[in-house]
Structure formats: C-alpha cells, structure tokens
Amino acid sequence: MLWVKVINGAPLQIRVTEADRSCVYTVEEREHGAWLDLFRAIAVDFGTRRPRGREAFETPPADNRIEPLLTRNIDPRIRDGYGDPAVLRTEDGYRLVVTSNDAPDAFPILRSRDLRDWELAGFVFPRGQAPAWAITGEGVADFWAPELHRVGSGYLLCFTARNHKRELCIGLARADSPGGPFTADPEPLLTGGVIDANLFVRPDGTTLLFWKEDSNAVWPRKLARLLRDDPILIDKLFDSAADRRTAQLCAGLWRWAERATPMEQFFSLQPMIEAVVARYGQVRERLHAHSDVIAAMRTPVYAQALSPDGQGLAGERRVVLVNDLAWEGHLIEGNWVTEQQGRFYLFYSGNDFSTPDYGIGVAIADDPLGPYVKMPEPLLRTSTRWWGPGHPSVAPGPDGVPRLFFHAFPPGTGGYKAFRALLSVRLAFYPDRVEVS
C-alpha cells in the first residue's frame, strides 16, 4: 500500500511511502511537464504506471501529406503556439485564432494571404480588455478554443473562459471586421463546465451552436474521492499491480489536490485517468454501483440554435455525439461541422489531448443536427513526426480544395501549455467517409 504526504511550499514536495521505504520528490515548477516527470520518477521507484507521454511506444511513419504551417512562435506574446486553431477564409486572405491559456493577451489573431507567410494581427482581448465575467491572471485563467465566423454583416467569435467561480463557460464576442476590435457580450452564453464552442451557419442564416460538456474533468475527481474514502474498491477496479499502485498514489494526492486549481487537479490525477482509460469498459462495468461516476465518463456534444438576435439560445437542445468508440477513450471534444456536397461532416478529437493517444475522428449526417454515423477509425493519429493531432477546423485552401487545420505536438512533448504547431492536410469528401488527399 502506498501512502502519500504532500508538503506545501515553494517548491512543492511529495513523500511516497511503502512499508519501510520512503522517497521525497520535489515539483520544482507546478506545470504539466513537471508533474509528468514526477510520475515517471515515482514509477521507477514504486512500480506505478508510467505516463503515456513519458514512455516508449511504437508509432506509425510520418504522413508526408501533412503540411506544417506554423512550427515556431512568431511573437513573444504568443506563448504556447497554435493550439485549437480555427481558420477562416476572408476576402483578403485567412484569419487564424488560437488558444492562449493564461497569457495576458488573450486569443492571438494571425493573418496570411497564402497559408505560408503569417503575421500577428492583434488579439481578440488585448491585455486588460477581457470580459468582466472572465477570470484573468497567470496560473488561474484559461482562454481556450476561439472560433471566428462571418454571421450576417459582421463577425461572431465564440470562446471558452473561466468565470470567477473557475467554471468553464462559453462566451460570444462581436466585431465588424475579422481583425476586430471585438466587444464581448456582458455575460457568458453558457456556464458550468462547457467548452469547445463551434458555430455552423445554415444557408437561411440560422446559426447553430455546438459544444461539449467537460465531464471528463468531473469523473476523475469523483473517482479519486471515492478511492480515498473506500480504498478497498481499488482492488476491485484494477487488475494489475501497477494500476493499483497508481490508484493508491492518486487517491492519496487527492487530499491535497481537492483544494488545488482545476488544471493542477488534472495534472495530479493524470496517471489514474490513464489507468482507467486503458481498461475503460471494464472499469465502467465494475463501477456499476456508482452511477454518478459512470455518468460523468460520457462527454456529450450538444447542439442548439442561437436566438434570432444572436444573444441567447432558442429551440431544442440535443445530444449529437458521445464518446462510444474504443479509440476515443473517456472523451470527445474539439468539434467542427462543415457542409460538403450536401452532407454534413462533424470533425472532432478523441482521447486525452496530452497523450499520443489523441486523434481526429469524423462523423457524417444528412442534417447538421444528426443523426451522425462515425467513421470507425480516426482520420489522423500520432506519427513519428507529430504527436496528438487534434481540434480541427475546415476552410478552403487557396486552390479551393477543402483543407483540415489542426494542432499537434513535436515528438516527445505534450501537455497543457506545451507548444503546439499548426498543421494542415487536403481533404477528399465522400458520402460515407473522408480521406486525406
């Protein structure tokens, strides 16, 4: 049995004890990479699960059809690269908006005429101009997954940020031109653990909002609390010694983590999350007596129309997609709907964004509200050149051929606030599938 004691301070120290053996580990920087290094060290010493991002594994060869567009930060105010990229083709070229995490200048706007040469054109919310409802500041703010669309005579931007309760919320901002300036609505459109808003504009002008319920941030907390209070359950859920030790480790860490920030909770529970995902169906079945945990292990994607004035939601809310394929693991996210040749294609990401298991899937329907039929395997997965491709968007290339834009990590890297490159591939659409061309 592993016992854990966290010693708060700068730096944070963690003591792990088993029988008459005890080791103290120091978390020099309370960032995602430092936590992954910590868990790798504990795995060596105590036989817990090694994080997926810190283990050797076989990857397929690189796909030469993938075109790197941005592989370095072109401005020091862009701190973490080009995560969750949304590309819009306009009359004078392309606009790209990306995640900025907790940087003072939120949501970089980049401009290009040909997708090859890019320049920073500004920010959606420059320093000090974020919406009043959104919490700001390094280590506490999260500005994620912006999308920019032409709606009517103006431009509508949807995004995710945390409110002052640290809940993930979806907001809207408006501008007369794609470069701004943007004015955010005074209150979020949706609150309470929701992310990855996507707008789809019908030919009649009706705008649909798609978004994901971030329940994958909920079940690890519930499970860690459950295992802390009932450690006997660990042996019932996990078969391998490594996974049992991992569950003991994370259950012990939860005594400290339940008072930490939402992202540090994720960092500290990631090995347990990976242990669950490796035996996802089995663990869910063995949790049958704990329906609240099981319910949170599904991440539905919802759709609902915006009201005619664009200020709220109207009509029926419906679930259009859930994680139900083995490769998706415990979540789907990063949804984007496009119409091609009279059919509707919902691109999405599945599995844990910080691991090489992350990939891009496609679901197809006759109507943007579904029902959708998924392609059984991902369209894009980790390769020797790029890890964890995800959060796609679709726009015509300079030649008019549809292209998929997405982010990925350089090999051997990954995690929250790690650099993500902007990549692209040409697409070929068929009634029952999509192919990289």
Give the DSSP per-residue string, 147-184: EEEEETTEEEEEEEEEBTT--EEEEEEEESSTT---EE
Same domain, 208 and 155: yes
pLDDT for the residue numbered 55: 86
Same domain, 229 and 157: no
Joined together, the tokens standing for residue 423 give: 């990549």
Same domain, 261 and 308: no
Give Cα separations from 288 to 12, 275, 293 (angstroms): 36, 18, 9
Q: What gap in Å lies between CA 135 and CA 86, rounded to an integer?
A: 23
Q: Please report how many Cα atoms fall inside a 13 Å half-sphere around the Cα of residue 388, on the Cβ side.
A: 24
- Residue 62 covered by a domain: no
Q: What gap in Å lies between CA 263 and CA 258, rounded to an integer?
A: 11
SS3 424: strand
Same domain, 76 and 129: yes
Q: What do you get for the CA distance between the two ends of the chain, in Å?
A: 52
Alpha carbon of residue 149 to chain centroid: 20
pLDDT tens across the length of the chain (437 residues): 999 999 988 899 999 999 989 999 999 888 999 999 999 999 999 999 999 988 888 888 988 999 999 999 999 999 999 999 999 999 999 999 999 999 999 999 999 999 999 999 999 999 999 999 999 999 999 999 999 999 988 999 999 999 999 999 999 999 999 999 999 999 999 999 999 999 999 888 899 999 999 999 999 999 999 999 999 999 999 999 999 999 999 999 999 999 999 999 999 999 999 999 999 999 999 999 999 999 999 999 999 999 999 999 999 999 999 999 999 999 999 999 999 999 999 999 999 999 999 999 999 999 999 999 999 999 999 999 999 999 999 999 999 999 999 999 999 999 999 999 999 999 999 999 999 99
pLDDT for the residue numbered 8: 87
SS3 267: helix
Same domain, 290 and 310: no
pLDDT for the residue numbered 167: 97
Q: What gap in Å lies between CA 20 and CA 408, rounded to an integer?
A: 43
The beta-strand segments (E) located in 19-118 are 21-27, 67-70, 86-90, 93-97, 106-112
pLDDT for the residue numbered 56: 82
Strand 373-374 and strand 93-97: the pairing is unpaired
Same domain, 325 and 176: yes
Q: What is the span of the domain harbouring residue 317?
A: 67-214+299-436
The model carries a pTM of: 0.96
SS3 content of the chain, % helix, strand, coil (to 5): 20, 40, 40
DSSP string over 73-84: -SSTT--SB--S
Contact 217, 269 (CB under 8 A): no
**242: which residues sit within 8 A by CB, 6+ positions away?**
43, 47, 48, 49, 275
Same domain, 72 and 173: yes
Q: Is the peptide bond before 410 cis (omega within 30 degrees of 0)?
A: no
Same domain, 80 and 205: yes
Of the candidates 258, 255, 249, which has an alpha carbon nearest to the alpha carbon of residue 229?
Answer: 255
End position of a domain, from candidates 268, 296, 324: 296
pLDDT for the residue numbered 10: 86
Contact 421, 410 (CB under 8 A): yes
Same domain, 83 and 144: yes
pLDDT for the residue numbered 58: 84
Same domain, 314 and 375: yes
Q: What gap in Å lies between CA 283 and CA 178, rounded to an integer?
A: 46
pLDDT for the residue numbered 9: 85
CATH number at residue 375: 2.115.10.20
pLDDT for the residue numbered 327: 97
Same domain, 275 and 311: no
pLDDT for the residue numbered 205: 81
Same domain, 186 and 328: yes
How many domains in the chain?
2
| Angle (CA) 336 341 344, round 5° | 30
SS3 36: helix
